[in-house]
Structure 1
């Protein structure tokens, strides 16, 4: 934690990005869909993508996010579950950092919540 505060200490510009339905970008392993079954009075439904609430969903999603943003973590980004914090020392630098993060989101078909 102290390391995080050291990195953020020189930053003056911050942006927090909250992902929209990020967990749904993780496909359930083919053949394991039945493990996510939900029964209603009408029928049985299996998830094809990872729903929020599965025991290992947070760890699985953290692994994905750490892989996607590995180049930016500790440089100008902090990732926690479906939140990304971009930090910079100047506004000009921040715009460059934001462009990199938003480009990476687009490349991996991850989307930010515009309402936040």
Structure 2
């Protein structure tokens, strides 16, 4: 990430709000996350933290969602996102492109961990 920011005048940092929990599990895979409590049998409907491949699955998803922007105006590492711009005039359109994708896929950010 450090090398990718070289030559960029403006950087904005964003953090996905409970990133893994924004990813719905495939219905057939939900049974594999089942657990029992004194109140009954439950399973996860969203990807929980702690699954063996959760990090890789999440990274693959965000790489796919932001593919048109990664390496150009954006970098993504798991649930941390960085929008970069060489000039101030470019920064708002670059942020807008990222927000458009977030809105399209109904992904949420954690405002307390974002810096613009």
TM-score with structure 1 length normalisation? 0.89
Shift, 1:16, TM fit: 0.6
Q: Do structure 1's residue 90 and structure 2's residue 83 form an aligned pair? A: no
Alignment of 1:3-14 (within 5 A): 5=3, 7-14=4-11
Query: 1:50 matched to which residue of 2?
Result: 47
Give the secondary structure class of the aligned counterpart of 1:44: strand
Q: Provide the C-alpha distance between the structure 1 equivalents of 2:108 and 2:62, rounded to a whole number of angstroms.
A: 13
Shift, 1:89, TM fit: 1.2
User: Which residue, 32, 35, 38 being the options, matches 2:32?
Assistant: 35
User: Which residue, 101, 105, 110 being the options, matches 1:108?
Assistant: 105
Alignment of 1:51-90 (within 5 A): 51-90=48-87
Segments of 5+ residues of structure 1 without an aligned counterpart are none
Runs of 4+ in 1 over 6 A off after TM superposition: none
Q: Provide the C-alpha distance between the structure 2 equivalents of 1:40 and 1:34, rounded to a whole number of angstroms.
A: 15
1:39-89 CA distance string (max 9 Å, x none): 222212101111111110111111110010000001011101111111111
Query: 2:17 matched to which residue of 1?
Result: 20
1:97-116 CA distance string (max 9 Å, x none): 00110111000110111122
Segments of 5+ residues of structure 2 without an aligned counterpart are none
TM-score with structure 2 length normalisation? 0.89
Q: Which moved more, 1:21-30 or 1:74-83?
A: 21-30
